[in-house]
A and B are shown apart, each in its own frame.
Chain A
Amino acid sequence: MNRERFIEQVRKLLGDRWVITGAWETYPYSRDYWPLLVYRELRGLEHVSPAAVVLPETEEEVTEITRLAEENDIILVPYGGGSGVLGGAAPESDWVVVDLSRLNWIRWYDEKAGIVDVGAGVYLRLLEEWLQSQGRTLRHFPQSYPEAVIGGLVSTRSIGQYSTGYGGIEDMIVGLNIVIPRIGKLQVKPVPRRSVLLPLDHMFIGNEGLYGIITRVYLSTYELPECSEKVGWKNESFNDALENARIIVRKRIHPELFRIYDERESTLHFGEDGSISIGVIEGSCRIVEAKIEDLGELIGKDIRSGSSYAEKWLDKRFNVIEDLWKLYEVGMGFETIEVSVPWGWAYPLYTDSLRKLDSIEGLYFAGVHASHFYQSGAALYYTTAYSLEKIDDVYREIWDTLMEEASKHYGSISHHHGIGRMRLKYLKLEYGEEGIHFLRQVKKAVDPSSVLRDDPLRLG
């Protein structure tokens, strides 16, 4: 490794201002939003800062940085908004962070097609505001909406709150550029669909910075909806709520934003018994009206009368800090874990996993909601609160329990948060030996020197 030479070369490439090595300037990159690291830091544990941070402005600079990194035996880790919740962006002390925040252009690629050309460092909130000023919308609203950037969202295969109507980020991507160490800048031009061997753009959605650095994304956008109506209703139980959701999605009369809460979370969020469903139905006014009518008939209730549940949730949907602080003040930590599961296994997974979670010492709360639905199944989202005194033990136990239960019930270990560092040891549950072997072989082919981190594949 020749770090000094690398830093010198990158200084020449970018200018001194865009190569950071000072202690207080590099410390912010020492973690992302992985709760384990957040709480450890607040409890006084020192995180390691990267050796340096470089801030390229162009895709060509990113390409040159990867070339120089290989030449000098440097490991790079890309950094977007730092909103990842599993430690994927947290560096080792000898790694160099590539901060993508200067790749921040937003422009139309094809206005008629509604395809927007976006730099990887663009904040989602700013992109959505720009689109809305043009009468368009991405309709991608993950909880990290205020602080996430496009490159990070694509790298983790993100999903948003309106996914049941509009899909995940992968459904909005029509092309992208990615810098791959041995390959250079791979450009996959934006088209509505293609059938040309391996889908080179979609192969890299969710690569978490292991195979390449996403620098540019072409996104397909929607027209702003003419009408938007909030609905809500109460189900007898979470099992009923799941069954209702399955039928609603099968009949394709689902709200664009659709969430169902188990009894525990219904009490927590709405202060009521039962299992609450909320939704936002969007589109042309006539379609919205028709959907509300059909949906109401199917549920057997006036679903508009429950709109206050949806309003309450919408008001607070990006406000995570209020609850986190309340818990922190009484010595409690917070963790959310998402898995996906086919319909037939959704309720068994729910009951079996909660029973096991409830037996974990130091875990004070575990509840579930589902907020992303498909023809074939749903994502279950677990919310837990636990004693910070016992964080190291409780945290691992929660994760071990849920990953094993998801796998046992034929679910995926991750629906949209990705792998990061936290899920490394569960990779085998998802893909088996052969899958991991394949991932390793691809890595060896495109990044044999491991310019981009390879630890997930070594440990998986």
Chain B
Amino acid sequence: MHDVVKTFTRCALCPGVCVTYCPIYMNTHIRASAPNNLARLGLKYLKGYESYDPALWLCTGCRECEYNCPISNPLWNAARISRGKKSRVEAVKVETKNLGGRGSSLLVVSSIIPDQALVEYLKQFYSIHWLDTGSIYMAYWSGSEVQLNLDAFDYIIIDDLDVTPALIPGKLKGKVIYSIQLLEMMGYRSILENKAFVLHVPCKISVDGKELLINVSYKVLGKPIRTISKCIGGGGGLPEKHPVIASELVHSAMKGSRKDYLVVTLCSRAKTHLLSSGYQAKTPLDFIAGDMN
């Protein structure tokens, strides 16, 4: 069980070694979002300052603070759990939808229902299930834990990285395939060669993971005109609780990229945020469905 008071206290004791890595603070100048200050507000919130609740939502869970912390303090998780002032962590049981097929079971984790053509294609080899991450998104980012028996699936395709920390404990690493890796396995190569596109590798991936996925993406898609591997403000409940800030973050991250450029993002949650902010966006699964435009 995560000791949220301990996590907050560690950050509140720190001068803020990680503050320049926080995308929200650096983009918005909102001092409350700087990790050490967010922790101070978190402690007060837990002591009864309920009006401080909006501060706890100034975090997308990008984990930059944790990755750049000398003691790897998971502030993002303490903020997440504390939202809604939970005295205990509630578990949310998750249902998956059986889309048919046969053979080894394959779970598609996405906030967007997989395209029918893709499902038909995959059904030739696998028994397909879909976890609609949209159904657990706000529950998870409001502090609940997700209960899902992942052992029941032989393969898991991740198309929504926003809830990855909730679903993918280290022991499952062997059966997890990111959607861009699925394209690689299926033999897709340079499918956007000579097209102007932007690649977005979500912030919630570790530094090593980012490097791997960027390399795979280059192989599958071709060389983008730009690769963005930082937070665009599309997850963690930020767009729902602080829409203006979420919008500022995406425009800041995309600064210098024309709106008519296609953005290929490895996360369906980010795709939704990009689309609602006026950008053209696709995830790798869209390409399997045959849409190469």
| A318 close to B29 (CB less than 8 A) | no
| Chain B 40-55 interface mask (CB, 8 Å, partner A; 1/0) | 1101100101011011
Q: Which of A38-46, A196-204, A226-234, A406-414 contacts B (4 or more CB under 8 A)?
A: A38-46
| A328 close to B9 (CB less than 8 A) | yes
Q: Which of A5-13, A24-32, A236-244, A430-438 contacts B (4 or more CB under 8 A)?
A: A24-32
| B40 close to A27 (CB less than 8 A) | yes
Q: How far is the CA of A82 from the CA of B32 in the complex (A)?
A: 12
| A321 close to B71 (CB less than 8 A) | yes
A83-B30 contact in complex given A27-B44, A322-B71, C-beta closer than 8 Å: no
- Chain A residues, Cβ within 8 Å of B15: 33, 82-83, 144, 146-147, 320
| B37 close to A28 (CB less than 8 A) | yes
- Chain A residues, Cβ within 8 Å of B31: 25, 28-29, 53, 82, 99, 101
Q: Does B12 contact A (CB under 8 A)?
A: yes
A28-B71 contact in complex given A123-B20, A147-B17, A320-B14, C-beta closer than 8 Å: no
| A146 close to B29 (CB less than 8 A) | no
| B40 close to A28 (CB less than 8 A) | yes
Interface size on A, residues (CB 8 A): 34
Interface size on B, residues (CB 8 A): 31
- Chain A residues, Cβ within 8 Å of B9: 42, 328
Partner of B70, one of A28, A99, A126, A318: A318
- Chain B residues, Cβ within 8 Å of A316: 70
| A38 close to B29 (CB less than 8 A) | no
Q: Does A319 contact B (CB under 8 A)?
A: yes
Partner of B12, one of A41, A102, A319, A320: A41
1-59 of chain B: CB within 8 A of chain A: 9-10, 12-20, 29-32, 34, 37, 40-41, 43-44, 47, 49, 51-52, 54-55
* Chain B nearest Cβ from A295, distance in angstroms: 31
A321-B13 contact in complex given A23-B52, A28-B41, A41-B40, C-beta closer than 8 Å: yes
Name the residue on A nearest B30 (C-beta). A25
Q: How far is the CA of A320 from the CA of B13 in the complex (A)?
A: 9
Q: 21 A-B Cβ contacts within 8 A?
A: A23-B52, A24-B32, A25-B30, A25-B32, A25-B55, A27-B40, A28-B37, A28-B40, A81-B19, A82-B16, A82-B31, A101-B29, A144-B15, A146-B16, A147-B20, A320-B15, A321-B13, A321-B69, A321-B73, A325-B10, A325-B71
| A324 close to B54 (CB less than 8 A) | no
| B17 close to A321 (CB less than 8 A) | yes
A125-B20 contact in complex given A24-B41, A42-B12, C-beta closer than 8 Å: yes
* Chain A nearest Cβ from B26, distance in angstroms: 9
Partner of A24, one of B29, B43, B52: B52
| B41 close to A27 (CB less than 8 A) | yes
The majority secondary structure among interface residues of chain B is: helix
| B14 close to A24 (CB less than 8 A) | no
Name the residue on A nearest B16 (C-beta). A147
70-103 of chain A: CB within 8 A of chain B: 81-83, 99, 101-102
| B71 close to A146 (CB less than 8 A) | no
- Chain B residues, Cβ within 8 Å of A144: 15
- Chain B residues, Cβ within 8 Å of A33: 15
- Chain B residues, Cβ within 8 Å of A126: 20
Interface residues of B, Cβ cutoff 8 Å to A? 9-10, 12-20, 29-32, 34, 37, 40-41, 43-44, 47, 49, 51-52, 54-55, 69-71, 73
Q: How far is the CA of A23 from the CA of B49 in the complex (A)?
A: 10
9 shortest A-B CB distances, which residue pairs?
Answer: A319-B70, A28-B37, A147-B16, A28-B31, A24-B52, A321-B14, A146-B17, A33-B15, A24-B55
Q: Does A55 contact B (CB under 8 A)?
A: yes
A28-B51 contact in complex given A33-B15, A144-B15, A325-B71, C-beta closer than 8 Å: no
* Chain A nearest Cβ from B220, distance in angstroms: 30
Name the residue on B nearest A327 (C-beta). B13
Name the residue on A nearest B53 (C-beta). A24
- Chain A residues, Cβ within 8 Å of B51: 23-24
* Chain A nearest Cβ from B230, distance in angstroms: 14
- Chain B residues, Cβ within 8 Å of A24: 32, 41, 49, 51-52, 54-55
* Chain A nearest Cβ from B70, distance in angstroms: 4
43-72 of chain A: CB within 8 A of chain B: 44, 53, 55
Q: How far is the CA of A38 from the CA of B18 in the complex (A)?
A: 18
- Chain A residues, Cβ within 8 Å of B19: 81, 123, 146-147
* Chain B nearest Cβ from A180, distance in angstroms: 24
- Chain A residues, Cβ within 8 Å of B47: 44
Name the residue on B nearest A328 (C-beta). B13
Q: How far is the CA of A316 from the CA of B71 in the complex (A)?
A: 11
Q: How far is the CA of A24 from the CA of B71 in the complex (A)?
A: 27
- Chain B residues, Cβ within 8 Å of A146: 15-20
- Chain B residues, Cβ within 8 Å of A23: 49, 51-52
A324-B14 contact in complex given A99-B29, A319-B70, C-beta closer than 8 Å: yes
* Chain B nearest Cβ from A82, distance in angstroms: 7
Name the residue on A nearest B69 (C-beta). A321
* Chain B nearest Cβ from A51, distance in angstroms: 15
Counting chain A CB atoms within 10 Å of each CB, the highest count among B14, B31, B37, B73 belongs to B31
Name the residue on A nearest B244 (C-beta). A17
Name the residue on B nearest A46 (C-beta). B44
- Chain B residues, Cβ within 8 Å of A81: 16, 19
| A42 close to B13 (CB less than 8 A) | yes
Q: How far is the CA of A38 from the CA of B39 in the complex (A)?
A: 12
| B17 close to A318 (CB less than 8 A) | yes
Q: How far is the CA of A38 from the CA of B69 in the complex (A)?
A: 19
* Chain A nearest Cβ from B260, distance in angstroms: 29
* Chain B nearest Cβ from A100, distance in angstroms: 10
* Chain A nearest Cβ from B17, distance in angstroms: 4
